[in-house]
Amino acid sequence: MLFNSLYFLLFFAITAVLYFVVPQKMKWILLLAVSIYFYLCWNPVHIVILLVVTLISYLTAMYINKDKAKGKKLCIGAGTVLTLAFLVVYKYYGFVMDSIYAVLDGLGIAYVKQSISLSLPVGISFYTFKAVSYMVDVYRGKIYCKNFAKYLLYVSFFPQLASGPIERSTNLIPQFDKEHKFNSQTAEIGLRLMLLGYFKKMVVADNLAGIVAKAFSSPEGCTPFVLVFSACLYSIQILCDFSGYSDIAIGCTKVLGIDTMKNFDHPYFSKSIPEFWRRWHISLSSWFKDYLYIPLGGNRKGVLRKYVNLMIVFLVSGLWHGSSWNFVFWGFLHGLYQIVSGLTVKLRVKFCEIIKITKCEKLHNALKIVITFALVTFAWIFFRADSIESGFTYIKCMFGNSGGAFSFASVLAGVKMLFSTKATLISFVAAMVPFVVYSFVDYFRPVGDIIDKRGVVFKVVFYALVTAYIVLFASTAVTDFIYIRF
């Protein structure tokens, strides 16, 4: 059941109405029922995996919570391994076997190729991480949920099930017992977020997808300008696609009166790579910090260990995103960025003082934003590519033809190639102009705060116009959200 479908809108509308009609003690039961139904709409068979993962983590936490329980560390280790085993088997079996076959081919060793096709359960990367974080939080004494059904609701909560955000059990589970009455102000904020999410996904991301695909499908036939421009557009596409999903998910929970964490905070206005990761996919970044980086030792065991831990985190992050080497290389690049950023802090400060750019703070900040965006965009090329080889091919073509690559004639030819039809150009302008305006305005002053100070008539007209704009300029192709496949 795609968020960007009329079926989901009808499903959510019915859920919201029933949620505020049923008695308080029945609300969480209703949410559990609709969450299970939501998941069954994807693939009924995969509900078994969700239930088994939930049961394993629940039983592990139940044992860990006992005061006199022995071997708690061993227990949580076993529970984590068993929980992640499903993720490893379903997501990485093919990747591991293909890598083994590649090595055997290189060594000239004969083998019999095994062909096993496993369908990846929707949301498995997200709900397994929620299960692991819950077990760890129980071990740390932060929470314990005795009711299995309520814990199942936490794991399967429908707005966050397919693509996150990866909400913490300490925040979400207690809210299932709170009294939630309909609040028009809260509902308006939630619906506004959903509307923004649909604009980002259906108008911006989906309209850019076709343009980006042209370059990534055959980079050899594109000019360097087209490849650079398309890479920048992909940065915008993936931001709008994923933050659009997050806005819809957070908006849904807000309508119901449930508060969840913010997942994106203007990441492309970051002035450094570390800042970018504090603003991008916040729920996953903080998850890796709390449940992998800190347990590995964080920055408490010296500079060398700190950077080793950072690289491990980003390699795992890359592998988490996809079961192929291009994702691992994407993670490696970001790990390398972090290390270089940390090692060159004093050198960069000294260099900026020498060229006296620090005297113009706005120019200095703008330059840092541009450099950070360029580094992030370069890494996104490998994220978008079908393989690590095609990623390097894209890079080679992008830097391969230096002579006249960015001349007026070459740029004009590239523009004609990308916008071969009038409809494509109109869709591009209709998507990018309001998105860029919104991004800059919202960065300096939240648009929500501006709207909240307006009257009812303004709000009705504004929301009606935005809705009409989405209907008018939305891409005709209804596509999956990018992160659903992770």
Which residues carry out catalysis? 321
- State how far the Cα of 195 lies from the Cα of 182, in Å rounded to an integer: 19
CA distances in angstroms from 459 to 191, 198, 442, 445, listed in the order given: 12, 18, 17, 18
Query: Is residue 259 classed exposed, middle or buried when 0-12, 13-18 and 19+ CB atoms within 10 A define those classes?
Result: middle
- State how far the Cα of 86 lies from the Cα of 104, in Å rounded to an integer: 26
- State how far the Cα of 234 lies from the Cα of 83, in Å rounded to an integer: 33
DSSP conformation class of 266: -
Nearest to 384 by CA among 256, 217, 240, 169: 217
- Which residue blocks in 257-356 are alpha helix, DSSP H? 273-279, 282-288, 303-321, 325-343, 345-354
Q: Spell out the residues 6+ positions from residue 413 whose beta carbon is closer than 8 angstroms to its own.
A: 223
Cβ neighbours, 10 Å, residue 194: 22
- State how far the Cα of 251 lies from the Cα of 188, in Å rounded to an integer: 9
Is there a cis peptide before residue 165, judged by omega within 30 degrees of 0? yes
- State how far the Cα of 215 lies from the Cα of 232, in Å rounded to an integer: 12
- Which residue blocks in 199-223 are alpha helix, DSSP H? 206-217
Residue-by-residue DSSP string for 403-434: TTTTSHHHHHHHHHHHT-SHHHHHHHHHHHHH
Nearest to 212 by CA among 199, 228, 231: 231
Q: Spell out the residues 6+ positions from residue 350 whose beta carbon is closer than 8 angstroms to its own.
A: none
